[in-house]
């Protein structure tokens, strides 16, 4: 069953919280609504569920209009399953009774029981059918809530920050299990999260929102590697930022000259690249010709990587990342191009060079993003 949102707009009093939202979710697809707090993603989820009355636009499930300006189908008739942030399990009901709660359309109690047990089997919780919620761990409660949402065979599954209450290690395990259950069910899924890593893990597509609008939609790879602006770039990871002024289609920086096609001379721009794209070489290890000399200021070991703090000296060689044009005299460079800069590099595993080591630094041209300075 597909979900279609057309021209959705919504406001609370004078404040517009959603504007020009258009989206389609295909059967079996997991789409993550991602964005900072207050961007409108939870409001959009509530509109789909029928917990908020739609003010403008249309919502269709399997080509059936369930909400527009003239009609609002009741939430219980929309065929949606909703997994709340706090799981919302009834404390006085057993796991089985909680899972049976939404099966009102099934006439026979025996059939309801069997359907609920099948849903619990999907999430590996059948053995806990007679247990009460307070006897379960947070991860087990989450799986019961998912079983309850899946039991009525909904057309759409909606998840609102479903892993936010779990600790870090358990969150990784439970979201992996949840993804397998959702994909095997074949149901269209919309999930709200503010965590970029979670969205990249769970989502077939990510819808990144900001101030009530969709900024960019695409696969995790597309949003990470081809961001449309500085907001998208910085939302997914820390970035190194160098500011400069366009002159002759280039920007002079302490790293050398960076091509800036499409910007007028005099434009202030930001050059961005992620720490994991920064390559660090020993000065005697055949550093690439396009590299620049630098110094290791500090190293910090992280899980699976080392964060290296680098100082890039102002006496950079000619060509940084994006041009093979010959360098010009240094007296034509702006002042900031003759200053040292501080960069971060994220390198795999243990970093073999000590603090104070002299290195060469290289950043591949296809992993550098250039945006107007005002965009961030």
Bridge-based pairing state of the strands 188-193 and 156-160: parallel
**pLDDT value of position 214:** 98
Average pLDDT of span 128-132:
95
The whole-number pLDDT of residue 197 equals 94
In angstroms, the CA 314 to CA 281 distance is: 18
Q: What pLDDT score was predicted for residue 210?
A: 96
Q: How far apart are CA 156 and CA 82, in angstroms?
A: 9
pLDDT of residue 325 exceeding 50? no
pLDDT digits (tens, 9 = 90+) for 70-100: 899 999 889 899 988 888 899 999 999 999 9
**pLDDT band of 17, cuts 50, 70, 90:** very high
Quote the tokens at residue 53.
């009355």
Phi-psi region of 317 (alpha: psi -120 to 50; beta: other; left: phi over 0): beta
Mean pLDDT in residue range 348-355: 85
Torsion over CA: 196, 197, 199, 200 (sign)? positive
Cα–Cα–Cα angle for 240, 241, 242, nearest 5°?
Answer: 125
Question: Strands 30-34 and 205-210: what pairing?
Answer: parallel
Confidence band for 329, pLDDT divided at 50, 70 and 90: very low
Over residues 94-109, the mean pLDDT reads 84
To the nearest 10 degrees (0 to 180), the angle between helices 138-150 and 109-122 is 130
Task: Give how far Cα 328 sits from Cα of 250, 252, 268, 331, Å.
Answer: 12, 10, 20, 8
Cα–Cα distance measured from residue 106 to residue 75, given in angstroms and rounded to the nearest whole number? 17
Q: What is the pLDDT of residue 366?
A: 80
- Domain-wise residue ranges, the chain: 3-232, 237-375
- Residue 187: pLDDT above 70? yes
Fold of 3-232: Rossmann fold (3.40.50)
pLDDT the model gives residue 233:
96
Question: Of residues 245 and 365, which shows the higher confidence score?
Answer: 245
């Amino acid at each position: 069953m597909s979900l279609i949102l057309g021209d959705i707009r919504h406001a609370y009093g004078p404040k517009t919280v959603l504007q020009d939202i258009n989206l389609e979710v295909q059967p079996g697809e997991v789409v993550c609504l991602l964005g900072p707090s207050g961007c409108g993603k939870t409001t959009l989820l509530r509109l789909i569920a029928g917990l908020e009355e739609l003010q403008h636009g249309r919502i269709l499930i399997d080509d059936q209009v369930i909400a527009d300006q003239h009609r609002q189908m009741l939430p219980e008739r929309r065929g949606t399953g909703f997994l709340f942030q706090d799981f919302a399990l009834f404390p006085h009901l057993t796991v089985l009774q909680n899972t049976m709660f939404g099966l009102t359309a099934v006439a026979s109690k025996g059939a309801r029981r069997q359907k609920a047990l099948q849903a619990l089997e999907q999430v590996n919780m059948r053995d806990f059918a007679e247990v009460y919620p307070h006897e379960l761990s947070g991860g087990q409660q989450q799986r019961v809530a998912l079983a309850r949402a899946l039991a009525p065979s909904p057309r759409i599954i909606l998840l609102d920050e479903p892993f936010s209450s779990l600790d870090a290690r358990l969150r990784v395990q439970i979201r992996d299990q949840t993804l397998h259950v959702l994909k095997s069910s074949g149901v269209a899924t919309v999930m709200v999260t503010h965590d970029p890593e979670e969205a990249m893990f769970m989502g077939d597509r990510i819808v990144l929102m900001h101030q009530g609008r969709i900024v960019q939609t695409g696969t995790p790879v597309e949003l990470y590697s081809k961001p449309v602006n500085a907001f998208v770039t910085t939302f997914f990871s820390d970035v190194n930022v160098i500011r400069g002024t366009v002159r002759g289609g280039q920007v002079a920086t302490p790293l050398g000259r960076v091509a800036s096609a499409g910007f007028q001379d005099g434009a202030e721009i930001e050059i961005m690249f992620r720490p994991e794209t920064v390559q660090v070489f020993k000065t005697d290890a055949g550093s690439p010709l396009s590299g620049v000399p630098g110094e290791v200021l500090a190293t910090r070991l992280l899980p699976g990587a080392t964060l290296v703090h680098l100082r890039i000296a102002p006496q950079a060689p000619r060509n940084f990342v994006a041009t093979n044009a010959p360098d010009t005299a240094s007296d034509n460079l702006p002042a900031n191009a003759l200053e040292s800069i501080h960069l971060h590099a994220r390198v795999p595993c243990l970093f073999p060079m000590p603090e104070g080591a002299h290195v060469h630094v290289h950043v591949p041209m296809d992993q550098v993003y250039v945006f107007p300075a005002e965009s961030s």
